């Protein structure tokens, strides 16, 4: 479908929902949803953004900037997942515990319908967070409108939200930590600093700093990785090592091609 058709479908769904509390992470999906919901009916859209050591600082800055520029009603909250031992243990369903804390916090603050930025593509992945959403009767307007990730980006571009349309995917920082390794806020801070430094140092479309039991793995898109000489890898590896050692990490630093979700260990069937 065209961007115009997708936008019309989305607006129809949002009109049906009425008063909405939009869970805004700072990524392209939830930001585009928040923009459209506010544009359609400012008095019926409230944005809620959770901050924690797992949320990249630039995501929060993006949410605050849009809220200020667009006049959103925005509440910044602490969902409390870092006080939840089930989350901190980093099990395979960590996202379920994260989203449960998030939706509990939002439900205590809004009277309207909680909505998320999940899209049709998300339904094909292992997404325990969607189970938490179902437990809280969260609606997913993009899914109801039949919109994929590409449709969301097309709508963002159609609305001239070019910064959102071209925004690289950036899941929460806890997703960089191998399943089963306990979540440590200081390590998440190191991950953020490493990725920020590498983006400033090299021309890369995708940068991930993965924490595994035996290594700190820097994953780059194929083009960026292929452009690094052996000497450059050594130099960057030393920089990364310096940044992570302050968090108690002593693992060797390695470079690998980017693989989506490579820190996640699936549960045994």
Instruction: Assign residue 70 the CATH number of its domain.
Output: 3.40.50.620
Residues 249 and 153 in one domain: no
- 8 Å CB contact between 14 and 37: yes
User: What pLDDT, on the 0 to 100 scale, is given for residue 266?
Assistant: 62
User: What pLDDT, on the 0 to 100 scale, is given for residue 259?
Assistant: 87
- 8 Å CB contact between 244 and 190: yes
- 8 Å CB contact between 97 and 54: no
Helices (H) and strands (E) in the chain, counts: 12, 7
The secondary structure element, H or E, covering residue 23 is strand 20-23
Domain presence at residue 9: yes
- Residue numbers of the domain that contains 189: 173-257
pTM metric for this prediction = 0.91
Instruction: Using a pLDDT cut of 70, give the percent of the chain over it.
Output: 98
Residues 37 and 156 in one domain: yes
CA distance 250 to 247: 9
- 8 Å CB contact between 216 and 240: yes
Residues 66 and 185 in one domain: no
φ, ψ of residue 260 to 5 degrees: the values are -60, 130
User: What pLDDT, on the 0 to 100 scale, is given for residue 9?
Assistant: 98
- Tens digit of each residue's pLDDT (9 = 90 or more) over 21-66: 999 999 999 999 999 999 999 999 999 999 999 999 999 999 999 9
- Tens digit of each residue's pLDDT (9 = 90 or more) over 85-102: 999 999 999 999 999 999
The first and second tokens of residue 98, run together, are 């994260």
Domain final position from 165, 184, 218: 165
Q: What is the mean pLDDT of residues 16-24?
A: 96
Residues 94 and 216 in one domain: no
Q: Regarding predicted confidence, which is higher, 168 or 264?
A: 168
User: What pLDDT, on the 0 to 100 scale, is given for residue 255?
Assistant: 93
Residue holding tokens 């989350």? 87
Q: What is the mean pLDDT of residues 260-265?
A: 74
Residues 206 and 234 in one domain: yes
The mean pLDDT of the chain is: 93
Residues 152 and 26 in one domain: yes
User: What pLDDT, on the 0 to 100 scale, is given for residue 265?
Assistant: 67
Domain final position from 149, 165, 181: 165
Q: Regarding predicted confidence, which is higher, 269 or 195?
A: 195
Residues 6+ apart with CB under 8 A from 187: 177, 211, 244, 247, 248, 249
Residues 145 and 54 in one domain: yes
Strands across the sheet containing 45-50: 74-77, 45-50, 20-23, 113-115
Q: What is the mean pLDDT of residues 8-24?
A: 97
Residue holding tokens 């159609």? 158
Tell whether the model's pLDDT for residue 269 goes beyond 90.
no
- 8 Å CB contact between 151 and 6: yes
Domain final position from 105, 139, 165: 165
Confidence of residue 268 (pLDDT cuts 50, 70, 90): low
Confidence of residue 267 (pLDDT cuts 50, 70, 90): low
- C-alpha distances out from residue 96 to 36, 52, 104, 115, 211, Å: 27, 16, 12, 16, 21
- Tens digit of each residue's pLDDT (9 = 90 or more) over 132-184: 999 999 999 999 999 999 999 999 999 999 999 999 888 899 999 999 999 99
């Amino acid at each position: 479908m065209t961007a115009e058709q997708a936008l019309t479908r989305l607006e129809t769904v949002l009109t049906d929902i009425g008063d909405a509390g939009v869970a805004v992470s700072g990524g392209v999906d939830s930001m585009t949803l928040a923009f459209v919901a506010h544009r359609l009916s400012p008095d019926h859209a409230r944005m809620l953004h959770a901050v924690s050591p797992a949320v990249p600082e630039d995501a929060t800055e993006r949410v605050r900037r849009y809220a200020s520029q667009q006049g959103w009603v925005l509440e910044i909250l602490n969902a409390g997942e870092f006080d939840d031992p089930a989350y901190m243990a980093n099990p395979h369903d960590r996202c379920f515990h994260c989203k449960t804390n998030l939706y509990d916090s939002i439900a205590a603050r809004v009277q309207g319908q909680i909505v998320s930025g999940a899209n049709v593509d998300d339904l094909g992945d292992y997404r325990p967070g969607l189970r938490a959403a179902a437990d809280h009767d969260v609606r997913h307007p993009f899914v109801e409108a039949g919109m994929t990730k590409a449709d969301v980006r097309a709508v963002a571009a159609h609305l001239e939200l070019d910064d959102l349309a071209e925004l690289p995917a950036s899941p929460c920082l806890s997703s960089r930590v191998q399943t089963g390794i306990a979540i440590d806020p200081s390590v998440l801070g190191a991950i953020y600093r490493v990725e920020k430094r590498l983006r400033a140092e090299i021309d890369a479309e995708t940068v991930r700093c993965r924490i595994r039991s035996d290594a700190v793995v820097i994953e780059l898109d194929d083009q960026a990785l292929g452009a690094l000489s052996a000497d450059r890898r050594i130099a960057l590896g030393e920089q990364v090592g310096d940044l992570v050692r302050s968090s108690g990490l002593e693992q060797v630093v390695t470079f690998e091609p980017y693989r989506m979700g490579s820190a996640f260990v699936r549960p045994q069937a």
